[in-house]
Structure 1
């Protein structure tokens, strides 16, 4: 087998964590390509190296003396190098960084150095070849990721390398300037490497033992999901489950490469397998529950709207003209509701109301704020009758008023709208009825 393994910042925060990672990689010969993040927090009040780099660059950009902050960053790496007893000197690297900071090489360059330096340390520790992500991850001149060029360059480069360390999070434009993905983008780099080398498995190592069925800040010790499909994971990621960067799914899904989310601190745990499809039947009717607060609903009421051709398009056109996306659009015979991010909506509120009056001449427009959306996701719901009824029953017993319910045509998820104040109560009630009662 050929495995690509990515380790998050918490897995590489200090020398002890590096040793755990080294033991994991060396325990299986198949783990041939390693993608490291920048060092994360060593303890709760600590600062991530990436944040230190941002701060350091802002000082340089403002013409301030940044040498002290850069020295603190250097010490983080030297501490790891000493702890691993490595014969590695980063003097030249930090001289180059200091010079580029003075020359204002850009915030993306600054942010990427955390992964770059950790890649250097990891390659020296493992005895693997170091491959700079700037050589194999391509962005175009406008800063847009070029997936085809990346796949071609990376595939050709790694084809002749048996074992390599490739830093996560960044690549380069045609002129050589550094460009980063969004925060958490090392997951994306890992998936790109897995696709390029035609890996059998992509392992994403972090500080949790896979995807949980619900937010552990709301549910005490939630059950770990053993197997989840790409589509289910996409739904849960969108609704706040942030174990894996959602954009990391697409390169792997194209190739049918499964993802195994594992815990660096508990390598014996099997974690969660993320797959295209599976005959594996879930233990529970639902796979997981996710949700977000901070939505608003705009309800347009107009008699006979269902007979008016293009009514929905005219409504959504108003939001489009204001540069707004929408979350859900539940409708009735004479009503049409649009759920949007409240923070984004508020600055455009009156503009949108006026636009709706001009476009569709409603009988009434009603706004409601401080709403939350909860997604109940699961492939098991397709063959189980009464799922929506059980949700309503659980919420009624918990005295939660349901503002909206919307089931996708795939029968993979049910979206429930509730007031922000009922968010946690609703998730607990749904988890209890589908999980706790079945244990």
Structure 2
């Protein structure tokens, strides 16, 4: 059997719904369907999830929420009208959307989670109604009924191991199962969502739980590409890549597939096929286990991300001081800050962060604490930082790859601030100025794919 997830753009309106239904019809092995909330219908449109966040904020602030609730419902009504669904069948869905504003929640975090989750939930219910009207034996399956249990973190939940035992009971159900993505329930029965884009995670959880032969992830691109089309014109489509290649590239900005969704797939060794809803006959990109994988190229892809910053510390004889790094890590722990990398020299240490976890106030407090506790000779916060990831299973046994990467950068006067090669030898990380990120990606791509 196959588990199939459809993204927000795939379920944005009635026309897209029909494409989804055609895809379901085309392969009887597609037995479980995971829905996202309706995405953008056109440039400048608003995703339903963002509208639900606004709805939740309006309720929290005790303001009139009627207009925003009606705006959200109009998205579902538009889809229902395309398929001539009766108001009688739709009434329970609209009532559920209205009741969000008057239901009781343990705190505002769980309120927000419940509101956000209903983008997927109502879409799954609506798809089920449409399929049933077309005489397809479809069944809506709520995460609570299914037993998809998650941790008690309202808006960044993690799946619990018990879930996989619970999901096995649905392996041999004959009906086509329609399940909402993005959320699960806690042991107390409260809705908790995964991180944004978490419908990918739901699909992977179900694929592992049902021991599916394949997890198909339908989105709005033909494949995963070796570089961003925004940087490189008509980049090469990746036909096959490994889990860990995608994990490394996702870290630096490959956003087609949620990197956290790889974990259940890896644990279950379930192959993933990323495909285009608008062109379902194209092969897309297969994501497979490393075992028996034979790379066709030295590198598989190159990606960049600008959401990083660095803290640079200089202190003479730093390498002789016992406990220096421990004190630094204790400060990070105190401020609940995670770091990404920590390249060092004998008198220097650079700590690289995802700067999205900082406010300006928090950044200043952290720097002041580091100065007070560690007394560095020099401290600098570097906000202008980009990370470039060069990834490929083919690099492991290839000599001279670093030279091939750095040579075109030197010719284009790109300064490299940091180089780090992972222990797996399938990735090389570069640190550059943000202004140099695009040319770095472009030059590395040209070096490996256009020669």
TM-score (normalised: structure 1)? 0.91
How far residue 40 of structure 1 moved from its aligned partner, in angstroms, is: 0.9
> 2-side partners of 1:225 and 1:97: how far apart?
41
Equivalent pair of 2:331/2:370 in contact (CA under 8 Å): yes
- The residue aligned with 2:183 is 170
Is this contact kept in 2: 1:134–1:171, CA < 8 A?
Answer: yes
Q: 1:103 to 1:29 in 2, by over 3 A?
A: closer
| Backbone CA RMSD of aligned residues | 2.4
**Shift, 1:386, TM fit:** 0.9
1:77-226 aligned within 5 A: 77-86=76-85, 89-103=89-103, 105=105, 106-126=111-131, 127=136, 128-136=138-146, 137-140=148-151, 143=154, 144-226=157-239
**Residue 70 of structure 1: CA displacement?**
2.6
Q: Given the alignment of the two structures, is residue 411 of structure 1 paired with residue 425 of structure 2, yes or no?
A: yes
User: How do residues 10-409 of structure 1 correspond to structure 2 at under 5 angstroms?
Assistant: 10-86=9-85, 89-103=89-103, 105=105, 106-126=111-131, 127=136, 128-136=138-146, 137-140=148-151, 143=154, 144-342=157-355, 344=358, 347-349=361-363, 351-353=365-367, 355-356=369-370, 360=374, 362-409=376-423
Deviations, residues 30-68 of structure 1 (Å, cap 9, x unaligned):
111100111111111222122222223333444443333
Q: CA deviation at 1:146?
A: 4.5
| Structure 1 SS opposite 2:311 | strand
What's the offset of the Cα at 1:197?
A: 1.0
Deviates more, 1:414-423 or 1:356-365: 356-365
Moved over 6 A (4+): none
**Which 10-residue stretch deviates more, 331-340 or 205-214?**
331-340
Change (3 A) 1:275 1:299: same
Alpha-carbon distance change, 345 to 232 in structure 1, aligned in 2, over 3 angstroms: farther
Partners of 2:27 and 2:403 in 1: CA distance = 47
* TM-score computed with the length of structure 2 as normaliser: 0.89
* CA distance in 1 between partners of 2:50 and 2:376 (Å): 49
Aligned residues, how many?
Answer: 436
Q: Matched residue of 2:161: which SS?
A: helix
In 2, Cα distance between the equivalents of 1:168 and 1:404? Answer: 38
* DSSP 3-state at the match of 1:147: coil
Contact 2:252/2:388 (8 A) holds in 1: yes
Q: Distance in 1 between matches of 2:382 and 2:60?
A: 44
Gaps of 5+ in 1: none
| 1:421 shift after superposition | 1.5
Aligned equivalents of 2:363, 2:53: Cα separation in 1: 34
Instruction: After TM superposition, give the deviation of residue 140 of structure 1 in Å.
Output: 4.7
Q: Which runs of 5+ in 2 are unaligned?
A: 106-110
Contact 1:324 1:345 in 2 (8 A): no
Give the equivalent residue in structure 2 for 1:431.
445
Whether the aligned pair in 2 keeps the contact of 1:296 and 1:371 (CA below 8 Å) is yes
Deviation string 1:6-36 (CA, Å, 9 cap, x unpaired) is 0001001111111111111111111111001
What does the per-residue CA deviation read over 1:230-285, in whole Å, with 9 as the maximum and x for residues that have no partner?
A: 11111111111111111111111111111111111111211111112154433331
Shift of 1:355: 4.6
- Alpha-carbon distance in structure 2 between the residues aligned to 1:111 and 1:251: 23
Q: 1:306 to 1:61 in 2, by over 3 A?
A: closer
Instruction: Supply the distance in 2 between the matched residues of 1:259 and 1:131 (Cα, whole angstroms).
Output: 23
Query: Counterparts of 1:62 and 1:352 in 2: how far apart (Å)?
Result: 32
Whole-Å separation in 1 of the counterparts to 2:12 and 2:288: 29
